[in-house]
Structure 1
Amino acid sequence: MTTPMPAPMPTPPYGAPPGAWLRSPAALGRATALLLGLVIATDLFACYADWLEMDVTGDLADGVSGADLIDRADHADAVYGIAGIAQGVAIVATAVVYLCWLWRIRVNAEVFDASGHRMKRGWTIGAWFCPVVNLWFPRRIVADSWDASAPWGSRSGHRPVNAWWTLWLLSLLVDQYAARSYRQAETAEEVRQAATTMLFSDCLDIAAAVLAIMVVVLLTRMQERKALSGELPTPALG
């Protein structure tokens, strides 16, 4: 009696392109999430700085004067400046690690499905620095990687990606408006209004960073689970 052969393990429909192999995104994912947490912390500090600025300029607009107000104004300006520097450092550090994570995610996604990407691999980095196209190319790259990393045969939605990208763009637009209003302000009331707008921008950035952490964590987990499922050209992550 002949023993029946076991059914072959299903394999992805597309082979990996040259130079693409699976590597675990877990460490970079954790580092990116931690740095996004640092961005949230600096944004919270910036919200405090915005509130101080609003408080002082509100008193100035109401005609309050005195040595105490001058001290408060100097303190508010100092905190505002420190908050801006802290935000800048946190954003630059996070951007570097995030792009390293995204590159690894994209390469892995090509191993899963080489034909499911609308942008060439080089756009993974370049899309963020090209004017105009940086408004939608990065989102498209993340969405394509999301689809390629989903379990075989499943239909993945883009709700976390879309929510993150929408808030990210909105926070950038509000931040640009607030910065321009602050530079052009000539009265205490105009400065107060600009600080209020900046407070709103910082709150939006916090929400966008929270959603960014969600996207990083979910996409990292999706890739690890798919790689370890055995339904791959290579048996596991390298």
Structure 2
Amino acid sequence: MPTSMPGPTSMPGPTSMPGPASYPRSPIGLGRAAVASLGLVIAVDLFAGYAGLALYDVTGDLMDGATGSGILRRADAAESLNSLAGKVQSGSMLVCVIVYLSWFVLVRGNAGVFDPAEQSMKPWWAVVGWFVPLLNFWYPRRITLEIWDASSPVGARRSHLLVNIWWTLWILSLLADRVSYLEYGDAADDIHAAVGQTLIHEAIHIAAAALAVLVVLRLTRMQHEKALARAGVPVEA
């Protein structure tokens, strides 16, 4: 028997084949979709703010003693506009949650390819962490920072300032949302105060969504550039 014939032990096994997890997936498509969904939320929040201002104005007039059919028609119109704004907001938020989490899961998966040791939490926390009470106040930020560090250039760490400002605004938005839904009576002054709180919440929510857009854009670009660098493609600084 020829000694040059390779034996069974010299055959490459399945473990030598790179699996799908060895390669990052492009975050560009979902990144653009996430930015678009966040932009939709901002636009709807602006509409809700306009509706809120209309209601705030008419309840202020009622508090000042304004009467008549004209003021009542304005109040009914403002109420209807606010009801419509609330429904549109719910729809836009649902779309944004689905698209944003799809992007977030993808970049978390890429981070596990770039630097598995940097990821201290299981991949499923990228979704579950947003919905578990109390844990959702810091788990998503922690996961985002770990993705951020794993997506940074090798040997470098980019500042966490953008993520920290965004997360602070997001937490403030959650707290303001709870305050704006406190129970109030039917009196004009109660409604006026509640609408004022809601307007503050809308402003914070818009700011948080705008910062989220910047986070998505920056992180998507970081992962795209790192993927190109891993493939040996020159990347401009």
Provide the residue aligned with 1:157 in structure 2.
Answer: 159
- Structure number with greater Rg is 2
Answering whether residue 159 of structure 2 is matched by residue 147 of structure 1, we say no
Aligned residues of 2:24 and 2:109 also touching (Cα < 8 A)? yes
Q: Secondary structure at the match of 2:230?
A: coil
Alignment of 1:158-197 (within 5 A): 158-180=160-182, 183-197=183-197
Hey, what does 1:119 align to over in structure 2? 121
Q: Contact 1:20–1:107 (CA<8 Å) still a contact in 2? A: no
Q: Aligned residue for 1:229? A: 229
TM superposition score normalised by structure 2: 0.88
Query: Does the Cα contact within 8 Å between 2:173 and 2:205 map onto a contact in 1?
Result: yes
Deviations 1:80-120 (A, max 9, x none): 00111111101110000111100110010011100001211
Give the drift of 1:230: 2.9
Equivalent residue, structure 2, for 1:25: 27
Aligned residue identity for 1:77: E
- Within 5 Å, give how 1:1-238 maps onto structure 2: 19=21, 21-180=23-182, 183-230=183-230
Amino acid at match of 1:187: A
Structure 1 CA distance, aligned partners of 2:151 and 2:231?
12
Secondary structure, counterpart of 2:117 in structure 1: coil
SS in 2 for 1:155: coil
Cα deviation for residue 210 of structure 1 reads 0.4
1:230, 1:84 → 2: CA distance?
46
- Asked if the contact 1:168/1:208 (under 8 Å) is kept, the reply is yes
Between 152-161 and 208-217, the greater mean CA deviation after superposition:
152-161
Equivalent residue of 1:49, what SS?
helix
How many residues align? The count is 217
Aligned 8 A contact 2:21 2:113 in 1: no
Contact 1:17 1:111 in 2 (8 A): no
Alpha-carbon distance, 1:190 to partner? 1.4
- Using a 3 Å threshold, how does the CA distance of structure 1 residues 53 and 20 change in structure 2: closer, same or farther? farther
Partner of 2:8: none
- 89-98 or 154-163, larger mean C-alpha shift: 154-163
Shift of residue 59, structure 1, vs aligned partner: 0.9
Q: Deviations over 1:12-62 (max 9, x none)?
A: xxxx99846311010000000001000000000011111011111101111
2: CA distance between counterparts of 1:158 and 1:98? 20
Is the 1:17–1:114 Cα contact (8 Å) retained in structure 2? no
Structure 2 CA distance for aligned equivalents of residues 105 and 230 of structure 1: 16
Greater mean deviation of Cα atoms: 143-152 or 111-120? 111-120
What CA distance in whole angstroms lies between the structure 1 residues aligned with 2:197 and 2:155? 45
- The Cα offsets for residues 177-215 of structure 1, whole Å up to 9 and x where unpaired, read as 0111xx323421111111111001001010000000000
Q: Structure 1 vs Structure 2: percent identity of aligned residues?
A: 45
DSSP 3-state at the match of 2:67: coil
Computed over aligned residues only, the root mean square deviation of the Cα atoms, in angstroms, reads: 1.8
Give TM-score scaled by structure 1 length. Answer: 0.87
